[in-house]
Amino acid sequence: MKRIAIIGSGHLGQQIAYHIHHDSSDKVVAFFDEFQPLNTIIDQIPVIGGNQDVITKYQQNEFDVILIAIGYKHLDAKKELFQNLEGKVPFHTFIHSSCYRDQSASIGQGSVIYPGCVIDQNVTIEDNVLMNISCTVAHDTVIGKHSFLSPSVAIAGFVNVKEQCIIGINSTIIDNITMTAKTQIGGGGVVIKDIDEPGLYVGNPVKFIR
Distance CA 93, CA 190 (A): 29
Q: Are 120 and 137 in contact (CB under 8 A)?
A: yes
Distance CA 149, CA 179 (A): 13
**33-70 in b/e burial notation, b at 16+ Cβ within 10 A?**
beebeeeeeeeebebbbebebbeebbeeebbbbbbbbb
Strand (E) or helix (H) holding 17: helix 11-23
CA dihedral of residues 71, 75, 79, 85 (deg, nearest 10)? -30
Active-site residue, from 11, 21, 92, 139: 139
Q: Please tell me whether 71 is known to bind a ligand.
A: yes
Residues 6+ apart with CB under 8 A from 115: 19, 23, 96, 98, 99, 133, 134
Let me know if 74 is a catalytic residue: no
User: Binding site for acetyl-CoA: residue ranges?
Assistant: 169, 187
**Positions marked active-site:** 139
